[in-house]
Amino acid sequence: MANNLPMEKKIAAVSALAEGVSIRSIERMTGIHRDTIMRLGLRVGQGCTSLMDTMMRDLKCERLQLDEIWQYVGKHQNRLTDKDDESQRGDFYTFVALDADTKLVPAFRVGKRDNYNTICFVEDLAPRLTGRVQISTDALGTYAGALERGFGCQLDYAQIIKVFRAAELAPGRYSPPELYTQEKNVVFGNPNPAYISTSYVESQNLTMRMLCRRLTRLTNAYSKKLENFRAAIGLYFGYYNFVKRHSTVRMTPAMAAGVVSEFWTVADLIEKTNG
């Protein structure tokens, strides 16, 4: 059982999971059975989510960028059948809020890319912040109503609207579309035009794809269960906020935001999440 593993084995397994190593590769590297690695990752990931929910409070974030990153659970959305539970399988999005100054991720949510999950995400984010905030998002239509509902008048909000060129791709080739135009649209409040951007959160999403194995494209590493996927995302953000040193702020995002006062190790993360 994962609870009976010595701490050095737990550190090796959790460190590898947080750095994007597959479960079977960790099994070969450490000698820990893959089921034990799965249970350990599930427990620590769920613990990270609970830990961040408790600690990410009274944050003095002034400029936030919001975005969503796609992945599927079990199978692609267009392959679901009448026998599949769409609430547990198919396309899911991770909504991410990132502080442009400290690079902290104060809140995230895994769910469908719909109005309900957007509202839940924003209503979870808003009480964690103190003071007026400027927020930038992409052109997802559900954000405006959710942000107005969650923040009221304590918000300056703008959207980045991007138009991409349609391109014919060769069969079997994967490539992102070419950006054609981009414009900034003020939705309400008085946002500073110089800070209307989603570049930081988009860069974080790229890092997330590289370090969270379940988000790796064109592989069989995707999650088969939604519970496991949510735990993997929780583990990633726990490691990102508290353990991984960010090159821009030269400390962890949690330190830069004043959430903690010192560097955490993977052992600290495991102990504080009862791993």
Find, among 42, 47, 107, the residue nearest to 271 by Cα.
Answer: 47
Question: Residue 175's Cα: distance from chain center in Å?
Answer: 23
Helices (H), 58-113: none
CA distances 59 to 86, 103, 133, 259, Å, are 35, 13, 11, 8
Domains with residue ranges and CATH for the chain: 2-272 (3.30.420.10)
Angle (deg, nearest 10), helices 7-18 and 226-242: 100
Task: Quote the pLDDT of residue 178.
Answer: 80
pLDDT band at 169 (very low <50, low <70, confident <90, very high): low
* Site of tokens 């929910």: 53
- pLDDT, tens digit (0-9, with 9 covering 90-100), for 176-191: 778 778 899 999 999 9
Taking the C-alpha atoms of residue 170 and residue 174, their distance in angstroms, rounded to an integer, is: 9
- Which residue type does 35 have? D
Taking the C-alpha atoms of residue 143 and residue 149, their distance in angstroms, rounded to an integer, is: 10
- pLDDT, tens digit (0-9, with 9 covering 90-100), for 185-211: 999 999 999 999 999 999 999 999 999
- Rounded to two decimals, the pTM is 0.93
Beta-strand relationship, 107-111 and 90-99: antiparallel
How many CB atoms are located within 10 Å of the residue 148 CB? 16
> Is 172 a residue whose pLDDT tops 90?
no
CB 226 within 8 A of CB 88: yes
The residues, any chain, with a CB within 8 Å of residue 207's CB and separated by 6 or more, are: 240
